[in-house]
Structure 1
Amino acid sequence: MYQNNPTKCLTGEVRLSFVHLDQPYSNNGGEPKYSATLLVPKKDVATVEDLKNSLNTAYENGVKNLWKGSRPQMRYPVIYDGDGTRPSGEPFGPECKGHWVITASSKQKPQCVHISNVHADLLPTDVYSGMYARVTVNFFPYDASGNRGVGCGLGNVCKTRDGEPLGGRANAESDFAGLEQAAPQQPQNYAAPQQGVNPLTGLPW
């Protein structure tokens, strides 16, 4: 529960993966949405319990209101075990080990701020897969085309610190390691060109 809303949570520090917070993204041809996958450390017991309680509350709301007393089986779990496998049967990536994995999405663009200043939005370049943040999410029941379950709505994102980027993108420091050289020294008899004159042609530039 967060802000007296039993289906809303403010997570502890999580790591973000598959970040689409600046532009909406269509997954498998579906409706484009803003989204991010949250990697919740299993050792963060408080956040894990809060997420589970809020999810269960949303499910009970669905039973009472949306599903008219029916208790549908959850076709897809909302929270996955990062030490287990994806719905496809493939294992999760190594960054998911020791974490619970949950994907949150929204039709509305979330605000992304830094913990040092929650009044100003971050630049898109400061938001990426691999960074750490605290995130608000809200669980809700749904009934769409015969599919019933609980979804996870994405609220806003508060970046806490940088992290190793995910997705295989290298930074310049790692790409050019060992290539850095000191600036070449000018020969002793070198004469600096006059200002405004091309030293090769003698013509002004």
Structure 2
Amino acid sequence: MHITTGEVRFSFVHIYEPHAFENEPPKYSVLCLLPKSDTKTLAKIKKAIEAVRNSDAGKKNLKGIRGEVTFLRDGDEERPDRPEFAGMYFFNASCKDQPLVIDAEKEELIDRRKLYSGCYGRVSIDIFSYSTRGNHGITTGLRALQVLRDGEPLGGASPVNVDDEFDDDYDF
């Protein structure tokens, strides 16, 4: 199943260069912060999780597993030390091939500086079950991202506004 979320906040953005985690092959990835108030997206995710759980592949991959085995995590419970996680669910989405990135007008995003940890957008994700090396669960595959608007940068350098950085009043 695949869905497109409502507005999320992007963090740990690795979209233009793949990144390797803990001896895994490099992947393109993003962490998405989903407001708990976005009941429409939450309902779509829960419906997709249930459909995957009840699919033939889901029954096979999750056989004997009890309880939640899903990608959706509670920011208030798991990351109380990070203010940006307050009132949010969060999930990681990744893929092997570089995903499509578009802007609010659905044009390919040319300026890579517009996609950074802290900006807001939407993601198109596949939701599927897996059973690999003794691990079982339901996860996401990243299909595409849409950048909608700027936000306060989360860590690292903030985007540069050339008008703020370089005024026309200079002296050599």
Please classify the TM superposition score into its range, dividing by the shorter chain length. Answer: 0.7 to 0.9
After superposition, the C-alpha distances for 1:55-97 in whole angstroms (9 at most, x for unaligned) are: 2211222344x33x824136754111111125xxxx3511111
Report the Cα distance in structure 1 between the residues aligned to 2:51 and 2:148, rounded to whole angstroms: 28
* TM-score normalized with structure 1 length: 0.72
User: Is it true that 1:99 corresponds to 2:88 in the alignment?
Assistant: yes
Report the Cα distance in structure 2 between the residues aligned to 1:26 and 1:75, rounded to whole angstroms: 26
After superposition, the C-alpha distances for 1:125-175 in whole angstroms (9 at most, x for unaligned) are: 2211111001111111111112211111111011111111111424567xx
Aligned residues: 167
Report the Cα distance in structure 2 between the residues aligned to 1:181 and 1:50, rounded to whole angstroms: 50
User: Is it true that 1:132 corresponds to 2:126 in the alignment?
Assistant: no
Report the Cα distance in structure 1 between the residues aligned to 2:140 and 2:157, rounded to whole angstroms: 28
* Cα 1:52–1:26 shift into 2, 3 Å: same
Match of 1:78 in 2: 71
Please, which runs of 5 or more residues in structure 1 have no aligned partner?
A: 1-6, 185-205
Pairing partner for 2:147 from 156, 159, 164 = 159
Q: Is the 8 A contact 1:74 1:149 kept in 2?
A: no
Q: Which has the higher helix share?
A: 2
Report the Cα distance in structure 2 between the residues aligned to 1:139 and 1:125, rounded to whole angstroms: 28
Q: CA RMSD in A?
A: 2.5
Q: Is the 8 A contact 1:84 1:92 kept in 2?
A: no
Q: Secondary structure at the match of 2:97?
A: coil
Please list, as runs of the form range in 1=range in 2, the aligned pairs for 1:1-205 lying within 5 A after superposition.
Answer: 7-61=1-55, 62-64=57-59, 66-67=60-61, 70-73=63-66, 77-86=70-79, 91-116=80-105, 118-170=106-158, 183=170
Q: Secondary structure at the match of 1:72?
A: coil
Q: Is the 8 A contact 1:16 1:132 kept in 2?
A: yes
* Cα 1:144–1:74 shift into 2, 3 Å: farther
* TM-score normalized with structure 2 length: 0.85
With a CA cutoff of 8 Å and minimum separation of 6, indicate the structure with the bigger relative contact order.
2
Report the Cα distance in structure 1 between the residues aligned to 2:67 and 2:16, rounded to whole angstroms: 30
Q: Is the 8 A contact 1:16 1:129 kept in 2?
A: yes
Identity %: 32
The structure with more radius of gyration: 1
Report the Cα distance in structure 2 between the residues aligned to 1:109 and 1:181, rounded to whole angstroms: 39
Displacement over 6 Å in runs of 4+: none
* Cα 1:76–1:99 shift into 2, 3 Å: same
